[in-house]
Structure 1
Amino acid sequence: MERCRVEIRVAERRDGFDLLMAGRTILSHRADRPALAMALGNAAVEMYRGNFRIEDNPADLVTPPDFVIEGDSVTLSDAAGLAARLTLADAAITVELLRPGYDRLHLFFHAEPGETVWGGGEQMSYLALNDRSFPMWTSEPGVGRDKSTELTRAMDESGMAGGDYWNTNYPQPTFLTSRWLAVHCGSTAYSVLDFTDPARHRVEVWAAQAQFEIFAADSPAALVGDLSARFGRQPPLPDWAIGGAILGLKDGARSFERLDAFLKAGTAVAGLWCEDWAGIRETSFGRRLFWDWRRDRQRYPDLPERIAALQARGIRFLGYANPYLAVDGILFEEARAEGHFCLRQDSDEPYLVDFGEFDCGVIDLTRVETRDWFAEKVLGREMLDIGMSGWMADFGEYLPTDVRLADGSNPMEAHNRWPVLWGEVNAQAVESRGRTGDAVFFMRAGFSGVQAHCPLLWAGDQSVDFTRHDGIGTVITAALSAGLVGNAYSHSDCGGYTSMLGNVRTEELMIRWCELAAFAPVMRSHEGNRPDENLQYDSTPELLNCFARWSRVHAHLAPYVRHLCDEAQASGLPAQRPLFLHYPDEPALFAVQDQFLYGADLLVAPVIAAGAVSRNVVLPGIAPWQDCWTGELVPPGVHTVAAPIGRPPVYYRPDSGFAALFAGLAEVAKA
């Protein structure tokens, strides 16, 4: 789908100039408030197990006030001479710093009073980005992600692993504003989106040149559609993936016995996901996997036959892979011999990364032969050819900044590109077997352009709790923010993942996560990093019945999810949507991130606070909504509603073409 290009034009003013697009001011330059700043960078980067400390001590800051307009370009200068050039073409602004050595570029975009800003890729803590800055650097998001908590402080002390509100697996230097404009920075270099100044939006890029694409639309839905068309649309999810829950078990051959117990309890099972198919490794962090992507014949004997038997019962099998190989695995030696690893700068030896008590080589995704090898040898022969229908395509954030890459690129600029290359390799493997739109891999890492390759996101490794910045609620913010920049489908580890320092799952958390996961396009459970210390969905009859119940709710909604897939293909709209996407004239909705529209017709307000049995719900628009569980018609507005365990607030539009389907949810949930 081609987006309608609207030209950017320059308007000279008495003491400066403006850049205008579709009647809206994009950038405003005045002698006393220049639109550009530049400096000489002096960075220090440290990485430990995917956590980064990045600092800069820039010098010689220049804010050139003078300008000359020549056709479609503007040259900026100061008393020392030429400084930078802005060139306008094809709804984009290309900025080039003209002084040798200058590699810190700051461009200031115009902001209107009260303007709200969203975007930044997959953000976990804040949907509206106002008043904060967000570095764009793919990394581990951290455990706790809140510097005021004891857990975060403890994780910081044990390896920079606590994180902060802006840390994310999937950053993207794209932002949208409530003037229905969007700005996308095309650089993969380290950058910062800074919205701390209400009068100007600052984008900092660690490069001497960057292109900024500008999008303008008449509504947020149209704007999101334009961005989706720009970055690439995912194939529709297959029927099997939306027709029940994907059960995550990592218990070797015993996983098949446990599956039978879920089926006996009435669980609608779409797939069995066994991430331990290649073996396990016990570490102080918990139960990890053996990173040598071949099936463990002792842990899973007769796996191809098992997979075929499951598929005959209508159940798919899924595995796990990532773009690293453990030094003590068999594939490591083959990869080293064939030149498939990133290298040290001081030798031709593979660069090894500590992943937590085991070292791995980093597959060099810049090398075509290596991408082909991994797609064919690992994802093709070892996984797809034995019958797998998908996998978790994990990691992608760990490219160090001091490696030597086959294509000669600067690792500081390749780092953010790495998840996109990783997504491309996975998509290549699926396509090579004619399985696009049938086999589904899901990723947590991303950057601009991953949308064209990755069919499904997952929200990463939440802590097993209700905490504000790392608990269950962050998966809603993740889905909504990622959806605004072109990712149609997202889901989470039902039950959470990270259990550290005595933080373990509660029965309440497990139930509330089921209630949330049932209203995502894919429902998938996870046993977590410490499965033996945590509750599982088959730990008690009550939890087993809970998971079964909500899996049936999820399966019941499959016709509606198919409709959402069709919408995503046609318009680029995501399945889970912020309320303002369909109600842009209600500014009070702009920062709502604890409830969402599931398509246009269903509104879901999950309970994400420990001990809560009621919550405030915003019902937008001018027409009443209907309660899915009671059938009561509720007028629009803000309401405090009962939300006991087992009955999260869910509403539908009575005039929806799917009203009869939604009305049937109460009976399904009762069964």
Structure 2
Amino acid sequence: MNLRFVAGTEGFDLRIGDRVVLRHSESCPALVMARGNPEVVMYRGNFRISDKPFEELVPLAWRQCEGGVELLDSGAPVASIVLAGNSFEIRAADPAHDRLRIRFHAEAGECVWGGGEQMSYLALNGRNFPIWTSEPGVGRDKSTELTRRMDAEGMAGGDYWNTNYPQPTFITSRWIAVHLDASFYSVLDFTDPAGHLVEVWSGAARFEVFSADGPQDLVGQLSTRFGRQPELPEWAIGGAIVGLKSGASSFDRLEKFIDAGAAVSGLWCEDWAGIRETSFGRRLFWDWHSGERSGARYPQLHERIQALEARGIRFLAYANPYIAVDGDLYQEGRAGGHFCLRRDSDEVHLVDFGEFDCGVVDFTREETCAWFAERVLGREMLDIGISGWMADFGEYLPTDLRLADGSDPMEAHNRWPVLWAEVNARALASRGKTGDALFFMRAGFSGVQAHCPLLWAGDQSVDFTRHDGIGTVITGALSAGLVGNAYSHSDCGGYTSLHGNVRTEELLHRWCELAAFAPVMRSHEGNRPDDNLQYDSTPDLLACFARWSRVHAHLAPYVRHLCTEARESGLPAQRPLFLHYPQDSALFTVQDQYLYGADLLVAPVVEEGARRRQVVLPGTGIWRHCWTGEDFAPGTHDISAPIGQPPAFYRPDSAFASLFAGLKGVLEG
């Protein structure tokens, strides 16, 4: 549907169909322009960004022009808005005006979602969200001691809006979506209920507008716009991926999981290329190849991978787009011109990643993309039988370096995860492995959907905290799914353990319950594995993981159905309740439970010590409890939720009802 201007007595509307997108009048101007004066500081992927704009200009008068309107100041045009189908561009006439603040129309009671993968809030109303990919922080709650301590140690505490994967796209309950088609720094500001503000650090901004009669069609349009993922491979949904990083003994430990009855589809050893001990914990040696260091930690790796695959178990590894200066690949990369350079010289720009320095691989250079995809991901990983990997990081591009293509790092920063995803997808395609091998990413931005087949929720703290614990993985999956990411999962057990914050048995149980109802179930030993409980630490935890891995495997036929839906319609596997029940505005802010497809409802327990929880059952039909067989009418219910029995319900009239009815037997078997 195309945009159009509608003139009024005091100004004009920009409309899509009969819905107002932007409204301009002298009493409520749609645009404010200014000149920026920014300060950007980065420390280990954490950014402090501020601005002191000046020479602010608010054009009030307007006149029509070819293709759009001009905004006037003292009778002279100072900005223009030009339409092109469902998009429009706002441009300042003076290039010195490099800050735009656009006010989009809002109506009373309108709810807003989007912003990429948001970890704290599904509904964005009442808050602003800077769009800048970064480390999300540890704690992410300025009222907590952990966050304050991490802030003091290196700006590392984070806040509710910090995310690995931001995206300047928002959806409203009037069933329109607005997308800023640019990668420079921006802010989505929903603090004013009378207008949705978008701040843009540029003198020109192009927006795309989508509309639909309901949320499912709107989400499908966004999925089409950004690109749909290939369906997940059978092995990835047919069992759990066990994450172990203890060198060669990882293979022996895996046998304990299998002997306990776990449904295992993969072994993930992120330490395949070696380790490095730091004050943060056990880190990896960032030198992505199966050389001497890898051979010492994982002898005869190729043969071991083959032996696992003969048993139907894939081997997964790890890579990121940085190379340590003390690694073998660094000199090769430097000689080939594959690293970003310092602004003031032809020396490699080095980044401190926490007690070791790395070069940033320059993906603006075609030769470098080809080198990393072929030399590293292809020859060193795919060719020895590795079937997948965590494609980590992508958020660390500094703003004070020099890129091969001459682009501004401030503009390239948000694009970096997309370039990183393209290189990974290119490697899979070069070996004919698209749809079979699987990489997963935490970093993202607009367009990553077309290349990255699977998200993971990043580095949650090993706890139940509101802004950084287990519950954030639900919010992250739901928000990312609304903007075109069909598949998400998390580190089962959490990752970040600092300052005495360690895993409890309760947390590990509850995370298993949650992970079983995600498209991919994968465990992680965390950054301090020796200080924390692992799933093979006790017989009870091992039995817990085995039990829920079987539940996950049992649901594989249903997940395959969800994969087909995602390919055909763009709907994500995990869905906010309002996606299927948009007529009920009370569902707009529900973020601690979700629909797994249309027929299964999951309400994980994400509060420490909870043995009951409130569950909202939407719609008009009956919902059947997966573990007791009891039927419940729609509404809000207080449901028993002991450890081992998270609230989960299915539709008795579902085509998969017999599969769901079998879950109880799988859990008890």
TM-score relative to the length of structure 1 = 0.99
- What is the alpha-carbon distance in structure 2 between the residues aligned to residue 70 and residue 46 of structure 1? 42
Q: How does 1:245-644 map to 2 (within 5 A)?
A: 245-295=240-290, 296-644=294-642
- Report if aligned partners of 1:111, 1:200 keep a CA contact under 8 Å in 2: yes
Q: How does 1:101-116 map to 2 (within 5 A)?
A: 101-116=96-111
Residue 640 of structure 1: CA displacement? 0.6
1:188 alignment counterpart: 183
1:48 alignment counterpart: 43
1:129 alignment counterpart: 124
- What is the alpha-carbon distance in structure 2 between the residues aligned to residue 536 and residue 42 of structure 1? 49
- 1:215 equivalenced with 2:210 (yes/no): yes
- Report if aligned partners of 1:82, 1:99 keep a CA contact under 8 Å in 2: no
Letter in 2 for 1:347: S
Letter in 1 for 2:300: D
- What is the alpha-carbon distance in structure 2 between the residues aligned to residue 100 and residue 89 of structure 1? 22
- What is the alpha-carbon distance in structure 1 between the residues aligned to residue 193 and residue 548 of structure 2? 43
2:94 alignment counterpart: 99
- What is the alpha-carbon distance in structure 2 between the residues aligned to residue 443 and residue 458 of structure 1? 6
Identify which range, 95-104 or 632-641, moves more after superposition: 95-104
- What is the alpha-carbon distance in structure 2 between the residues aligned to residue 502 and residue 365 of structure 1? 38
- Report if aligned partners of 1:523, 1:551 keep a CA contact under 8 Å in 2: yes
1:153 alignment counterpart: 148
Residue 88 of structure 1 aligns to a residue in which SS? strand
- Report if aligned partners of 1:234, 1:453 keep a CA contact under 8 Å in 2: yes
Residue 570 of structure 1: CA displacement? 0.3
> Could you say what the CA RMSD is over the residues aligned between the two structures, in angstroms?
0.5
Residue 176 of structure 1: CA displacement? 0.2
Give a deviation string over 1:413-443, Cα, whole Å, max 9, x none: 0000000000000000000000000000000
Letter in 2 for 1:573: L
Letter in 1 for 2:629: G
Residue 276 of structure 1 aligns to a residue in which SS? coil
Letter in 2 for 1:271: G
Give a deviation string over 1:358-397, Cα, whole Å, max 9, x none: 0000000100000000000000000000001000000000
The 4+ residue runs of structure 1 with deviation greater than 3 A are none
- What is the alpha-carbon distance in structure 1 between the residues aligned to residue 73 and residue 610 of structure 2? 59
- 1:75 equivalenced with 2:70 (yes/no): yes
1:141 alignment counterpart: 136
- What is the alpha-carbon distance in structure 2 between the residues aligned to residue 78 and residue 140 of structure 1? 42
1:201 alignment counterpart: 196
Residue 70 of structure 1: CA displacement? 2.0
1:21 alignment counterpart: 16
Letter in 2 for 1:336: R
Residue 60 of structure 1: CA displacement? 1.0
Give a deviation string over 1:454-504, Cα, whole Å, max 9, x none: 000000000000000000000000000000000000000000000000000
- What is the alpha-carbon distance in structure 1 between the residues aligned to residue 502 and residue 496 of structure 2? 9
Residue 22 of structure 1: CA displacement? 1.6
- What is the alpha-carbon distance in structure 2 between the residues aligned to residue 76 and residue 602 of structure 1? 51
Letter in 1 for 2:557: P
Where do 5+ consecutive residues of structure 2 fail to align?
A: none
1:3 alignment counterpart: none
- What is the alpha-carbon distance in structure 2 between the residues aligned to residue 121 and residue 383 of structure 1? 30
- What is the alpha-carbon distance in structure 1 between the residues aligned to residue 95 and residue 204 of structure 2? 12
Residue 77 of structure 1: CA displacement? 1.3
Give a deviation string over 1:147-177, Cα, whole Å, max 9, x none: 0000000000000000000000000000000
Give a deviation string over 1:292-324, Cα, whole Å, max 9, x none: 001200000000000000000000000000000
- What is the alpha-carbon distance in structure 2 between the residues aligned to residue 516 and residue 243 of structure 1? 16
Letter in 2 for 1:20: R
- What is the alpha-carbon distance in structure 2 between the residues aligned to residue 426 and residue 65 of structure 1? 48
Residue 72 of structure 1: CA displacement? 2.4
2:223 alignment counterpart: 228
TM-score relative to the length of structure 2 = 0.99
1:164 alignment counterpart: 159
- Report if aligned partners of 1:35, 1:108 keep a CA contact under 8 Å in 2: yes
- What is the alpha-carbon distance in structure 2 between the residues aligned to residue 55 and residue 271 of structure 1? 44
Identify which range, 159-168 or 60-69, moves more after superposition: 60-69
Where do 5+ consecutive residues of structure 1 fail to align?
A: 1-5
- What is the alpha-carbon distance in structure 1 between the residues aligned to residue 507 and residue 95 of structure 2? 56
- What is the alpha-carbon distance in structure 1 between the residues aligned to residue 565 and residue 213 of structure 2? 19
Give a deviation string over 1:619-671, Cα, whole Å, max 9, x none: 00011100000111100000011000000000001100000000000000001
Residue 79 of structure 1: CA displacement? 2.0
- What is the alpha-carbon distance in structure 1 between the residues aligned to residue 634 and residue 563 of structure 2? 27
Letter in 2 for 1:170: Y
Residue 80 of structure 1: CA displacement? 7.2
Residue 183 of structure 1 aligns to a residue in which SS? strand
2:25 alignment counterpart: 30
Residue 586 of structure 2 aligns to a residue in which SS? helix
Letter in 2 for 1:556: H
- What is the alpha-carbon distance in structure 2 between the residues aligned to residue 83 and residue 63 of structure 1? 10
- What is the alpha-carbon distance in structure 1 between the residues aligned to residue 257 and residue 644 of structure 2? 19
- 1:646 equivalenced with 2:641 (yes/no): no
Identify which range, 61-70 or 321-330, moves more after superposition: 61-70
- What is the alpha-carbon distance in structure 1 between the residues aligned to residue 4 and residue 420 of structure 2? 38
- Report if aligned partners of 1:442, 1:454 keep a CA contact under 8 Å in 2: yes
- What is the alpha-carbon distance in structure 1 between the residues aligned to residue 72 and residue 236 of structure 2? 57
Number of aligned residue pairs: 666
Letter in 1 for 2:415: R
- Report if aligned partners of 1:244, 1:523 keep a CA contact under 8 Å in 2: yes
2:172 equivalent among 172, 177, 199: 177
Letter in 2 for 1:533: D
Letter in 2 for 1:193: L
Residue 100 of structure 1: CA displacement? 3.0
Give a deviation string over 1:531-559, Cα, whole Å, max 9, x none: 00000000000000000000000000000
Residue 99 of structure 1: CA displacement? 1.5
2:661 alignment counterpart: 663
- What is the alpha-carbon distance in structure 1 between the residues aligned to residue 204 and residue 23 of structure 2? 20
Residue 19 of structure 1 aligns to a residue in which SS? strand
Give a deviation string over 1:567-612, Cα, whole Å, max 9, x none: 0000000000000000000000000000000000000000000000
- What is the alpha-carbon distance in structure 2 between the residues aligned to residue 393 and residue 456 of structure 1? 10
1:62 equivalent among 57, 61, 65: 57
